[in-house]
Every structure is written in structure tokens, then in C-alpha cells.
Amino acid sequence: MRIPHYALHLLVALALVGSATVLAAVGSYSHMLWKVTAYNSLLKDQSALTQQYRDLQSQVKNANERLNSLQSLASDVAVAYGLTRVPDTPFSLTNTAAESDATYKDTVDQFNFLQQNASAVMLASMGVLRLAPGRKLADAPFIPSLWPVMGRITSRFGERLDPFGGEGEFHTGLDIASFYGDEVRAAADGVVIWTGNREGYGRVVIIDHGFGITTWYAHLSAYDTQEGMRVKRGDVIAQEGDSGRATAPHLHFEVRMNNAPVNPWPYLHQADAGGTVSGGD
């Protein structure tokens, strides 16, 4: 058989075009595989960085809470040793030049005291030394000295193991366990500034007692008060529950000074038998 020259040329051209197409397809597929591999690697790196960021956020949060608690503890030390004057009532506050000078002097005295008694402050932060407000201060209506619920303390203020993850964390309050639906009472006179859900706390009530003092009542099952309501020490404000990050019904009780968590135990430990109980492990 005779094949025309133009047919051979056409076959060669088609073979060349086919080969080029196959090579291009192989190259494109290889490039796509490389991109997919790189993308998956970036996703893994992003996931790892995200987890590291969350861990760092948690560490920073715990460090800030420790720092704020230590700063508040310094104020407690100053009050306990009489370095800071606390007015008898919220209405006796003034803003005169003499008051400003006195506040400045108190601040300097407090700083000097902490410099000279750093070891005592560290012992107090570790729970070795327990500082309680004086009797006169504990009797003030704005001091949270009433046990909010009668029960057993299952977790104290300070370092502990997270009951969910098993890792170390800083516990910012007291966990008091009793029964689901038990009445939760205001620890001192004040104004309710929050009723609602907060991450980790579940249903929570926050009461402002003045002087930068607030109390938090968390893991509630129901509310018996509302924002803006003025309450007296002993008024029922909510019911115990297990909302939020809770393994069983209990009340998470916090005392905060200028939004820094402080150990509630020195205040509750001052409570007498008049409608209160002493907590224990």
C-alpha cells in the first residue's frame, strides 16, 4: 500500500499533539497534587497554631487572674492591718483635697508595707496564712459574709485540676454543693447588675455591693431576681443548679474586688451562727 506523504505528516502531527496533551495533563495533575499536599500541610499548621493560640490564651487568662488576685490580696492585707481606711457607709465618701492626700498616703504606706512583708503576702496567696477582715468591717452590710447556700465545699479558691480536662487551672471561687433547686441567698446588701448566661458559668447572678466589691453566683437553675433590683443580705436571688461547665449541682461563689477574684473564705469564715454555716472539705 502506498500512503501519501501528507497522511504521514498528519499522523506525525497528531502524535506530537497527543504527546504534548498527555504531558500537559500529567504536568497539570502533578501540579494539582502538589497544591493539594501543600494545602493540607497548611491546614495542619493552621490547626496546630490555632490550638497553640488557645493554649496561650488560657495561660494568659490564668496568669492575669493570679496577678489580679495577688493585687487584691495586697488590698486585703492593707485593710487587715489597718493601713487602708474603709468608710462606715457608702454615703460617707467625699472627694475633697484632704481625702485625696489621705488616699495617696495610704497607697504609699501600703506599698511600703508590702515591700517589708512580701513573704507574708506569698504565704497568704498559697493559703498558708488566712487573712480575715476585722470584726467591724465584717459586720458592714456591703461585706459578703453570709453563706449563699448551705452545703459542703467541694473545691476551694486557687490552683486545682480541671475536672473536665485534668489539667492545672486557677479556680476563682468556692464550689459549694448541696441539692438541685436549693435557695441561693445574697451574701451582702447590693444591687443586681447581671442575670443571664456566661461562658463556663452557665446561669449567673452578679451583685454589686459598692466599693468595687461584687459577688458572682454561678451554675444556677433559675432566677428569683432581676437586673436593677436592690437586695438585702439573706434575700433569695436564685436556685442552685448545674448549668454551664458543671459535673453536678453546686453553687460556684466568687467575691471580686475591682473585678479581680479574691478568696471568699476569709469573709465567709467571719460569719457567725445567725443563719450561716461553716464550710468544710
Whether residue 172 is predicted with pLDDT greater than 80 in this model: the reply is yes
Report which secondary-structure segment, H or E, holds 35: helix 5-80
Q: C-alpha 29: how far from its chain's center?
A: 51
Burial environment of residue 174 by CB neighbours within 10 A (0 to 12, 13 to 18, 19 or more): buried
Q: Say how far apart CA 148 and CA 237 lie, in whole Å.
A: 9
CA distance 205 to 144: 14
Confidence check: pLDDT of 75 > 50: yes
Q: Using alpha carbons, select from 249, 281, 250, 279 the residue that is nearest to residue 265.
A: 279
Flag whether pLDDT at 99 surpasses 60: no
Examine the pLDDT at 176 and tell me if it is beyond 50.
yes
Q: Lowest-confidence range among 6-15, 132-141, 195-204?
A: 132-141
Q: In the predicted model, is pLDDT for residue 76 greater than 70?
A: no
Higher-scoring residue by pLDDT: 223, 5: 223
Residue with the larger pLDDT of the pair 147 and 31: 147
Residue 203 has pLDDT above 90, yes or no: yes
What distance in Å separates the CA atoms of residue 22 and residue 18, rounded to the nearest whole number? 6
Q: What is the helix (H) or strand (E) element at residue 100, kind and residue range?
A: helix 97-116
Q: Which of 164, 168, 169 is nearest to 244 (CA)?
A: 164
Give the Cβ contact number of residue 32 at 10 Å.
10
Model confidence band, residue 159 (pLDDT cutoffs 50, 70, 90): confident
DSSP class per residue in 154-179: EE-SEEEE-TTT--EEEE-SEEEE--
Per-residue pLDDT, 274: 35
Q: Break the chain down into helix, strand, coil percent, rounded to 5.
A: 40, 25, 35
Q: What is the pTM of this model?
A: 0.53
Which architecture, in CATH terms, is 142-268? Distorted Sandwich (2.70)
Query: Considering only CA atoms, which of 21, 255, 228, 23 is closest in space to residue 143?
Result: 255
* 119-131: average pLDDT: 47
pLDDT of residue 183: 95
